Amino acid sequence: MVKRVRDGGYQNIHGILLIRNGKLVVEEYFAGQDSTGTARAFDREMLHEMHSATKSVNALLIGIAIDQGLIRDVNQKIASFFPEYADVFAADSGKAAISVKDCLSMTAGLSWDESLPYTDPRNDHVGMNNSSDPIRYVLERPLATKPGTRFLYNSGISIVLGEIIYKASGLRADEFAQAHLFAPLGIRHYYWQRYPNQVVQTGGGLSLRPRDMAKIGSLALNGGRWRGKQIVSEAWIRESVRQQAPDLPYGYQWWLLGDPPRVSEAYGALGRGGQCIVVVPELEMVAVFTGWNDGPMFGTPPSEMLKRYILPAASRMKAS
């Protein structure tokens, strides 16, 4: 697999890490182009843009806030956190039903089109980025479906979740992460983008070292524990990685994966360009991929490398 990357059979892969049974067993980095088209030689100390894999990290923060009693539970209505947008909720009474759970499961029901290229001003993500108030932009989208009834991918509601962290704790999401997630995991080197009005880009603005991405996956694999310490409750991890959207295999900002019969369950934090943290509990394995191959978040080459090389090898080792 590594030879194929080096020979150009897999294009623009930046890093591959594998953790088996709690040990780092593969760590390889390669040269390639980043999202700006700049050629770089990637290494273990270099921060890497996670894009939408950020969402899964933010979901851990929501779980920690619930564990701490800062958020009542996932059924709390988001309107309760945003009195300054009372006019938005009053303008459409249906929006008052949107809960934290609806946002976590991408079923908030708000109209949103993120399928267009990110250079197209009609893309709602672009519109949000160009807005002076990203939260208002998201909340003002008209309701397309009843909250909780249909999955619709929406990075905006992930950013609303990050702002709920701020409303509940008094700390911006990046500050809350530093205190309650990154510091306990020993993550010291990171970057998290903020909008000009200081709203944290929790839909895709986090950059981590690949080794620290692997720590996030290992935390989830181990039921929220890291080196004997419970960072987020096991119950939260369990709920996060079971299907929460009624019509798609999606949990709380985690994608549910799997390739039966070889792997009965797997889940991932997936981001644009091939940023992946894949957790395979059956094999006690975490796989991290970084790169820049714009297209489906979990398309080739990471999915092919898993199916063709990694899962068969790990399954044979388990069997032996």
Compute the distance between CA of residue 99 and CA of residue 56 in angstroms, rounded to an integer.
18
**Average pLDDT score over the chain:** 95
pLDDT at 262: 59
Given a contact cutoff of 8 angstroms between Cβ atoms, the answer to whether 233 and 218 are in contact is no
Which are the contacts of 250, defined by CB distance < 8 A and separation ≥ 6? 105, 106, 151, 243, 244, 256
Predicted confidence band of residue 85 (pLDDT cuts 50, 70, 90): very high
Task: Report pLDDT digits (tens) over 258-281.
Answer: 765 556 689 999 999 999 999 999
pLDDT above 70 for 10: yes
Domains in the chain, start-ordered, CATH in brackets?
A: 2-49+210-319 (3.40.710.10)
Whole-number Å distance between alpha carbons of 240 and 251: 5
Give 119's pLDDT tier (boundaries 50, 70, 90).
confident
> Who contacts 50 (Cβ-Cβ below 8 Å, separation ≥6)?
57, 204, 206, 207, 208, 213, 269, 271, 275
End-to-end CA distance of the chain: 21
Strands 206-208 and 48-49, by their bridges, are antiparallel
- Does position 99 have pLDDT exceeding 80, yes or no? yes
118 pLDDT band, cuts 50/70/90, is confident
155 pLDDT higher than 70: yes
For the segment 16-43, the average pLDDT, to the nearest whole number, is: 96
Q: What is the pLDDT of residues 37-70, one digit of tens each?
A: 999 999 999 999 999 999 999 999 999 999 999 9
Task: Please report the pLDDT score of residue 240 as a whole number.
Answer: 98
Is the Cβ–Cβ distance between 293 and 301 less than 8 Å? yes
Decide if 266 contacts 258 (C-beta within 8 A): yes
